[in-house]
Amino acid sequence: MAQLPLNTFKTKTQMLSTASNFASGNTNGIKLVTVYTAPIGVTSIVLMSQISNVSTTTQTLSFIHHRRLPVLQDAQGNGKQDANIDSYLVKDFGIPPSDAASPLTGKMIVESLDSIRAFSSSENSLQLVLSILETANN
């Protein structure tokens, strides 16, 4: 059986699209794009996330963590979470022209098969860069 490398650093860059142009996922009628999904058997840490407005007008950003698998409750009955839940980290956050913002105030764990989703107010106006550390689960 092939083993996954213990630690792998990755950089993911993507121009964001508008919510109406996304082909995958659907939350409350809004179609979303998945920009990163943690592979099977891997837990990822988003070390840095930067969004740059490459347009000449203010654009808005929505940045979402998607939980694909359910979280089971602990022995005390706490911590249960359903599957396929989208949690907004930033919603309709304005970024001025030729400026940038970070939708994270720290690092974020993305468990196996969980995803990062994002969309902007205008097509190809915001560029996302993610710096990720993937760690193999044992």
CA 116, CA 46: separation in Å to the nearest integer? 10
Let me know how long the chain is.
Answer: 138
pLDDT value of residue 23? 41
CA 78, CA 104: separation in Å to the nearest integer? 26
pLDDT value of residue 71? 86
Q: Is 100's pLDDT higher than 90?
A: yes
Q: Is 26's pLDDT higher than 80?
A: no
Instruction: Tell me which amino acid residue 17 is.
Output: S
Q: What is the average per-residue pLDDT within 65-79?
A: 89
Q: For Cα atoms 37, 51, 20, give the angle at the middle one, nearest 5 degrees.
A: 65
Contact 131, 45 (CB under 8 A): no
Percent of the chain residues topping a pLDDT of 70 = 88
- Domain 7-136 in CATH 2.60.120: yes
pLDDT value of residue 28? 52
Mean confidence (pLDDT) of the chain: 87
At 34-64, the pLDDT tens digits run: 899 999 999 999 999 999 999 999 999 999 9
- How sure is the predictor about 88, in pLDDT bands with cuts at 50, 70 and 90? very high
The more confident residue out of 44 and 29 is 44
Q: Give the CB-side neighbour count of residue 13, counting CA atoms within 13 A.
A: 2
Burial class of 138 by CB neighbour count within 10 A (0 to 12, 13 to 18, 19+): exposed
